[in-house]
Every structure is written in structure tokens, then in C-alpha cells.
Amino acid sequence: MIQLILGNKGKGKTKVLLDRANTEIKTAHGSIIYLDKNAKHMYELNNRVRLIDMSGFDLKSSEEFIGFIYGIISQDHDLEQLYLDSFLTIAKADSPAAANTILDSLHGIGEKFHLSFIISISLQADDIDPKFKENIITEL
């Protein structure tokens, strides 16, 4: 399953994402991972949430990003939720169409492995494929 937090850059999406991860870890039965473009928010996350600083990985395409996600899943058998901040940057999506293609892949991965993706993305609802409109939890 995917859940989307939408809005222009600088509108507070990261704060919403951080708050949600910190709230969810209190009742989670499995692990929670937070992917971000850097380690800037390390001290804002509960220490039980695993932060992955994507700046240390030289991903060049969205296909490599999806492979990276599969690698995370293969190493963490009790993974429950993946939080993706700065989605367009870390997923190597250079357009709304590319973002929608990646969202489609993540939706399938979530269904297959029974995990949730909570995604902060700098797009508006009009840029999102209509099939994902019901997955929008916050629009700033």
C-alpha cells in the first residue's frame, strides 16, 4: 500500500512524515525504515526508526532505486513501513509521469510483501495518476 503526502517544496511535508514515523513506531510490531536524501533529520526521528541516508548511494535511475528497495526488503523480514522523504530526488523521478510509474511499482511491491510506503512528494494532486487519488493522506 502507498500513502501520499503532497505539496510544493517548503510546505511542511517532511514534518508531517517525521511526526507520522515517530507516532507509528510506538505501536509497530515490525521495523520501520525512513529513507531521506541526507541525514539532516537524524535527531528528529525516534531511535527505533532506521534512517537510511541516500546520499551515500550513487543511484542513477529509478530502476536502480526499485532494486535498492528490493534489497532493503530482502534484508529485513519484519519490515512493516517504509517512509520516503524527498521522493522525486531519491527515486530519480524527473517528471510527474516518471513519479507515477515508480508509485505503481511501489504499490505492487507493497501488496506483494505486505508493507506500507508513506511518501512525501513535491507534486500536486493534479500531477498524480487518478488511481492514486484515494492514497493521498495530506495535501499541503
Residue 10 predicted with pLDDT over 90? no
Domain ranges in the chain? 2-139
pLDDT digit string, tens, across residues 84-138? 999 999 999 999 999 999 999 999 999 999 999 999 999 999 999 999 999 999 9
Residue-level pLDDT at 15: 95
Pairing of strands 116-121, 136-139: unpaired
Q: Is residue 132 within 8 Å of residue 5, measured between CB atoms?
A: no
Average of pLDDT values for 21-32? 94
- Indicate the CATH number for domain 2-139: 3.40.50.300
